[in-house]
Structure 1
Amino acid sequence: MVFQTLLDSMKKTLVSAFLLVLTAWVMISCSKDPNGTPEPSTAPDRKALLTYWADSLVKPGYARFNGKMVELKAKTTAFTAAPTETTLRASRQAWQEAYVEWQRVELYEFGPAEQVSLRNHFNIYPTDAAGIRQNIGSGNYNLDLATAIPQQGFPALDYLLNGIATGDAAIAQQFASSANHRRYLTDVVAKMEEKFNAVNAQWNGSYRDTFINNAGTDASSSLSRVVNAYSLYYERFLRAGKVGIPAGTMTGTPLPDRIEAYYFRGALPLQLATTAHATVQKFFAGREGQPSLKSYLDAVGAKDSRTNQALSGIIINQLNASYQQLSGLGPDLFTTITSRNADAVASYNEMQKAVRMIKVDMTSALGVTVTYVDNDGD
């Protein structure tokens, strides 16, 4: 009897243990039930970030720029049809407005824009004035050739509308008396329209979905291409191109003729630079509640390698500081470089401080490999 009692007790214990194990297994299984409530994820949603970039930044930005391009074509067409001081000034105004708007989309040199080298056809400066004069004189040129890159785009229009002669009356007369001048101006605008329309059409077609669905982090991913384009633009085309090279930081000698809008001058060159810088800042910080580079860095807990503070805050503060320094170079960037170049060098140095944060710390935190090489000697 005693043995039977012990046996019954052992059976009950084993059954109880089995039931406990079974209950635990069921609870674990339920927690993994795909139909149940999943645990909230703290990982950044790359697809949401790409969607925001495509639908809220690139496509609307291109739509606004397209409006400026349409106006530029209309005004230059009216000018070549009847070259007068009035139609010249209208063309020049349309050129200025389009040039400023370009600063808000030049950053997007990835995807279709990268494929057609859109920046090369729109904003390589200083323009090749001698080459333009030769093209006009011979009437024989091909704007698709690599050698023609500095003979087109906004810098070429700057020369044609502002520097081809002295004074509005002389410029208008030059176009009135020369069919080749009128043809070259028309062809430059037409080439810009052709290149931009091809890029814009792709974003409004199938490329938008291709961009969003390429949500990995490898070198061919959309995130990698955007981050590399962003870093390259800030380092080479904003920091060096708009400030460093004209200030002579690479050569030791100021080169004021290397500024944007060199023939028009006045307040426009600095306006172009500050507009471009503000675009870089807005792209990084984004809008409250929307995905951005800032929110992505915050989500992965990215820290500054030197201070161990939140990397996004460090970058925002430095970009704010460099914008303020840049803004102080006005109102006339050409005069600033020729009369107080030390201020321009200081602006470049302030912008340089953000390069490491963007190119090294940010890319590392995002798991993105830098695929471009900057060889400006700094």
Structure 2
Amino acid sequence: MKKTLLFALTLLLLSVGIFSCQKDPGTDTPEPGAGPDRKALLTYWADSLVKPGYQRFNTKLTTLKAKTTAFTAAPTAATLLEARQAWASAYVEWQKVELYEFGPAEQVSLRNRFNIYPADVAGINRNISAGTYDFELSTAIPQQGFPALDYLLNGIATSDAAIAQQYATSAAHRRYLTDVVAKMEQTFGTVYSQWNGSYRDTFVGNTGTDASSSLSRVVNAYSLYFERFLRAGKIGIPAGTMSGTPLPEKMEAYYHRGALPLQLATTAHATVQAFFNGRAGQPSLKSYLDALGAKDSRTGQGLAGLINTQFGVSFQQLSSLGPDLHATFTSRNPDAVASYNEMQKAVRLLKVDMTSALSVTVTYVDNDGD
């Protein structure tokens, strides 16, 4: 009897010991060596990429407002040039933050309000003539943002002198230009203030991998941006890869043209790759995939290295489309199609292999017809 009681007591103590060593399933603290530290990754994204990027863009947007205000106060060819330069500078800076369409930016549809092109020129002109418009309407999306400013500063007349004269004689034009910039400032200000407020901690603290987690939202926004807005929007659609016919009128910065459209595209592409790699010694998508030992599903090669190699090839092909992207679409469009195809090769690596390795579910549907 004593031996039986002693044996039972021993089993009980062992059971308690094993149970006490098990991880509490309600905690999210990673065990040593359990895998990449998602909170460190989210912290890096928030504090070293998103917030500083938004700060730099906010500075450019403030300058744009100042220069357009000076132009509408005294419309001349000289003040027009300064406003146009501020617009182009802000537009380039925008390419460095446009992919952050998650959290506050997603809530206000920041990308839609800032950069859906081509601009609805007929709608813009109707708004100017009517003197009444509502930028919150879905139909007003292509009547605002950078593409609208492209038309207003570059396309409403055939020369700088004529554009300046149009503003000098039309209070309605001056008001519309002012209102477009004011709406941009207001919309972006909402996003910027939330990142500088409580949202930063909310973002960093959401360390899971489910569809509502910060990691999932970032990875989906990142993959979507590369696939739909860079690959298709900047190159594929104007090159006619979906329609079968080149459509250069659907390109970014159509009215300005020159070297700017390609600069916007290459800046966006460089931003995508820089976001993937992060800074040396800091957490990133690349370091996360390396820590997981992620492999390409087709070749078995290291996934992060393969993604970087393809990024390099697609960036080189994209850069070769200069100096005038509009001229490329109209006179050597096969080169633009080749650029689209090289970016498409990276889409599979990002959208299929990377999301699978990260245990992230793709929550968007690409509907461009390819």
Into which bin does the TM-score normalised by the smaller protein fall? Answer: over 0.9
| Equivalent position SS for 2:96 | coil
Deviations 1:175-208 (A, max 9, x none): 0000000000000000000000000000000000
Question: Where does residue 276 of structure 2 map in the other structure?
Answer: 284
Question: Where does residue 63 of structure 1 map in the other structure?
Answer: 55
Q: How many residue pairs are counted as aligned between the two chains?
A: 352
Flag as ranges the 4+ runs of structure 1 deviating above 2 A.
none
Question: Bigger radius of gyration, 1 or 2?
Answer: 1
1:42 shift after superposition = 4.4
1:307 shift after superposition = 1.1
Question: Where does residue 263 of structure 1 map in the other structure?
Answer: 255
Distance 2:31 2:226 in 1: 39
Matched, 1:205 2:206: no
Distance 1:84 1:314 in 2: 52
8 Å CA contact 1:42–1:299 kept in 2: the answer is no
1:39 shift after superposition = 7.6
1:209 shift after superposition = 0.2
Matched, 1:123 2:115: yes
Deviations 1:127-152 (A, max 9, x none): 00111111101111111111000000
Distance 2:176 2:316 in 1: 39
The one-letter code sitting in structure 1 at the alignment partner of 2:98 is E
Matched, 1:105 2:94: no
**Partner residue of 2:297 out of 295, 299, 305:** 305
* Percent of paired sites with the same residue: 78
Distance 1:75 1:123 in 2: 20
The one-letter code sitting in structure 2 at the alignment partner of 1:315 is I
Deviations 1:292-328 (A, max 9, x none): 0001111111000111111000000001100000000
Question: Where does residue 176 of structure 1 map in the other structure?
Answer: 168
Question: Where does residue 233 of structure 1 map in the other structure?
Answer: 225
Distance 1:142 1:352 in 2: 37
Deviations 1:323-350 (A, max 9, x none): 0000000000000110000000000001
Question: Where does residue 35 of structure 2 map in the other structure?
Answer: 43
Distance 1:205 1:104 in 2: 21
1:40 shift after superposition = 3.7
Distance 1:133 1:70 in 2: 26
Distance 1:322 1:215 in 2: 32
| Equivalent position SS for 1:372 | coil
Question: Where does residue 136 of structure 2 map in the other structure?
Answer: 144
Give the unaligned 5+ runs of structure 2: 24-29
Deviations 1:11-41 (A, max 9, x none): xxx9xxx9xx9xxx9xx99xx699xxx9841
Provide closer, same or farther for how the CA distance between residues 173 and 353 of structure 1 changes in structure 2, counting only shifts above 3 A.
same
Distance 2:243 2:42 in 1: 39
Give the unaligned 5+ runs of structure 1: 1-13
The one-letter code sitting in structure 1 at the alignment partner of 2:59 is G
Distance 2:22 2:254 in 1: 66
The one-letter code sitting in structure 2 at the alignment partner of 1:185 is L
TM-score (norm 1): 0.90
Question: Where does residue 151 of structure 2 map in the other structure?
Answer: 159
Aligned-residue RMSD, C-alpha: 1.9
Deviations 1:92-113 (A, max 9, x none): 0000000000000000000000
Question: Where does residue 125 of structure 2 map in the other structure?
Answer: 133
